[in-house]
Amino acid sequence: MTNKKTFNALGLSANLLEAIHKKGFEEPTAIQVMTIPVMLQDDTNIIVQAQTGTGKTAAFGLPLIEMVNTDSNSVQALILVPTRELAIQVSEEINSLKGRKAIKIVPIYGGQSIDQQLRRLKIGIHIVVGTPGRIIDHLNRKTLKLRNIEHLILDEADEMLNMGFIEDIEEIMKHTNPVKRTLLFSATIPARIKDLAHKYMDGYQFLSIKKERLITNLTEQIYFEVKGSDKFEALCRIIDFEDVFYGLIFCRTKSDVESVVMHLLDRGYDAEALHGDISQAQRERTLEKFKKQRVNILVATDVAARGIDVYNLTHVINYSLPQDPESYVHRIGRTGRAGNEGTAITFITPSEYKKLMFIQRIAKTDIKKSTIPRVKDIIEVKKKKISDDLTATLRTKMDTHYYNWAKKLLADNNPTECLAAVLNYCFEEELSPDAYGKMIEVGAKEKQLDQQGKARLFVALGKKDKMTAGKLAELIMGRVSIKPIHISDIQVMDKFSFITVPFEKAEKIVISFKEKGQKPLISHAKKRMDNKGMKVDARSSRR
């Protein structure tokens, strides 16, 4: 099936077409062309095999929005995802596509206050996006009823299999409406996924998108860990360090785009902005200048960059970390094209490391850490460029005016001193180390403090000890002077719990609960690597 259809041809309402246009989508992806009409036209179960980065959230989200009945306050659709990050991403994406339709969507995942989730469920929710462990929690509490749902969507099914969630999924399915429609989305279809489909999906249509290498071997992917305040300095160093820089820089908001462009222009770079407030005429002029390389730097938001088709970019820079793996794939797919090598660079602050690793895992790619170029190395690169340019100029025929001028200067001065003076006169400002600001290196100690001056603590008390989040906070406040607002991300499991506190309070809490000759009641939480290379709490549950 071709991917050249328009959204208008897929059977979507005027409301959704308007929302799609505002998002900046110009034409549907192959998975959307295949999936949307099937979901809208009949009640068949569907298995879709498609990679991350192909637009699958909109593929099931758009028809789901169309089919939800807002006159009812019951849960009509459940979307199961493997991680909290994906739960948030899918929920936000569907929210951004609903237009004027009054649909209520809630993400439910471990690590978030269950009381907050209970309040939202009580007011009536149409679509729940959740991780298996937390969904089971609500089913056991009888705070989530799935007997009337019409749609069950399993997103990243193979990832849930890899994380050991298949038994949880089967348990959830037992609580759902037996005549619901089930849709399963997965990059691969291993035997266990097929078994699940045969057992719980009474016949299904199989849709498969031709697998493409969305991120080519020609694209080198690296990331730099910097403080937020040092991002612009890092950007300038990267641009100056490269022999050739012809790149697209992604920011999260239009105000960020304007700020980065303004500062680049102040520093003497040729840069243009592209965001949602720019008129179509201005957009076309900007893109024309960029394609003809009259400017070598284009700073844009994700939405504004849709439809940019440039094949010889040397760099794509994620000045702001993408919201999700699909955005990452779309962004960096603009370099390393048509046989040209390219570099994709991502800036992250220390607190964004986990999110980057999540993006790397879901996008099934490899992003290597690197270090920001040093000022002295950048100056050496600049000097080499100047030397190469001068050498090339020496091979060209020059006006006799310059020869006569040079002879006069050399007649009265030492040749070496004369050339040094010319170089100093021409390049003093460009080669000055003072042109660059200082950057504070992110230290290893900083990285251990939950990336924001915080520490994670393990508490050897859980639900079996009749412990709740409130009781746990009270217990700690009874021993150490700390405000409730500073005790966050409380997770109470059956036999133990986890909390996050300011680093300066962590050691005081640990010491205050030490009892001579006894195992510590509270200690620093250890980290282990899960089977996907992610750091997780050593004794946390799968939720």
Looking at 208, 243, 275, the residue that finishes a domain is 208
Q: Are residues 162 and 188 in the same domain?
A: yes
Looking at 181, 208, 235, the residue that finishes a domain is 208
Span 194-207, average pLDDT: 85
Q: Does residue 297 belong to any structural domain of this protein?
A: yes
Q: Does residue 2 belong to any structural domain of this protein?
A: no
| Cα gap 67→76, rounded to integer Å | 9
Q: Does residue 542 belong to any structural domain of this protein?
A: no
Q: Are residues 133 and 12 in the same domain?
A: yes
Whether pLDDT at 192 is above 80: yes
DSSP string, 263-290: HHHHTT--EEEE-TTS-HHHHHHHHHHH
Identity (one letter) of the amino acid at 419?
Answer: L
The burial of 347, by beta-carbon neighbours within 10 Å (0-12 exposed, 13-18 middle, 19 or more buried), is given as: buried
pLDDT tens per residue across span 445-461: 444 444 446 788 899 99
Question: Which residues, 6+ apart, have CB-to-CB distance to 254 below 8 Å?
Answer: 275, 276, 277, 301, 304
pLDDT tens per residue across span 314-328: 999 999 998 778 788
Domains in the chain, number: 4
Residue identified by tokens 């004369």 is 418
Q: Are residues 391 and 454 in the same domain?
A: no
104 contacts 126 by C-beta, under 8 angstroms = yes
Q: Are residues 246 and 195 in the same domain?
A: no
Whether pLDDT at 534 is above 50: no
Q: Does residue 213 belong to any structural domain of this protein?
A: no
pLDDT tens per residue across span 67-111: 999 988 889 999 999 888 788 888 988 998 998 999 999 999 887
Whether pLDDT at 504 is above 80: no
| Cα gap 432→369, rounded to integer Å | 28
| Cα gap 348→251, rounded to integer Å | 12
Q: What is the 3-state secondary structure (H, E, C) of 36-99?
A: HHHHHHCCCCEEEECCCCCCHHHHHHHHHHHHCCCCCCCCCEEEECCCHHHHHHHHHHHHHHCC
Q: Are residues 139 and 229 in the same domain?
A: no
Whether pLDDT at 440 is above 80: no
Q: Are residues 45 and 164 in the same domain?
A: yes
| Cα gap 160→186, rounded to integer Å | 10
pLDDT tens per residue across span 382-414: 899 889 888 888 888 888 888 888 888 888 889
The pLDDT assigned to 94 comes to 92
Q: Are residues 109 and 184 in the same domain?
A: yes
The pLDDT assigned to 116 comes to 86
Q: Are residues 343 and 197 in the same domain?
A: no
User: Per mean pLDDT, which of 86-90, 137-141, 196-200, 333-337 is the most reliable?
Assistant: 137-141
Q: Are residues 320 and 258 in the same domain?
A: yes
Tell me the backbone φ, ψ of residue 401, rounded to 5 degrees. Answer: -55, -40
130: domain range? 7-208
Q: Are residues 59 and 196 in the same domain?
A: yes
| Cα gap 66→17, rounded to integer Å | 11
| Cα gap 48→1, rounded to integer Å | 14
We report the CATH number of the domain holding residue 488 as 3.30.70.330
Q: Across the strands, what pairs with 459?
A: 497, 522
The pLDDT assigned to 53 comes to 67
The pLDDT assigned to 190 comes to 82
Span 155-175, average pLDDT: 86
The mean predicted confidence, pLDDT, of the chain is: 84
Looking at 208, 230, 263, the residue that finishes a domain is 208
- Other beta carbons within 10 Å of 383: 14
Residue 374 or 525, more confident: 374
Least confident of 44-48, 124-128, 505-509: 505-509
| Cα gap 22→71, rounded to integer Å | 26
Spatial CA neighbour of 24 closest among 46, 39, 1, 7: 7
| Cα gap 534→511, rounded to integer Å | 29
The pLDDT assigned to 339 comes to 60
Identity (one letter) of the amino acid at 44?
Answer: T
The burial of 411, by beta-carbon neighbours within 10 Å (0-12 exposed, 13-18 middle, 19 or more buried), is given as: exposed
Q: Are residues 331 and 471 in the same domain?
A: no
Q: Find the length of the chain.
A: 543
Sign of CA dihedral 380, 384, 390, 394: positive
Q: Does residue 1 belong to any structural domain of this protein?
A: no
Residue 194 or 248, more confident: 248
Q: Across the strands, what pairs with 501?
A: 455
Structure confidence at residue 527 as a pLDDT band (50, 70, 90): low
Whether pLDDT at 437 is above 90: no
| Cα gap 129→114, rounded to integer Å | 14
Q: Are residues 501 and 364 in the same domain?
A: no
The pLDDT assigned to 251 comes to 93
We report the CATH number of the domain holding residue 48 as 3.40.50.300
Q: Does residue 48 belong to any structural domain of this protein?
A: yes
Spatial CA neighbour of 54 closest among 330, 302, 443, 282: 330
Residue identified by tokens 């237009």 is 99
Q: Does residue 398 belong to any structural domain of this protein?
A: yes
- Which two tokens mark 87? 């739960």
Q: Across the strands, what pairs with 300?
A: 250, 274
pLDDT tens per residue across span 30-76: 889 999 999 998 788 999 988 776 788 889 999 999 999 998 888 99
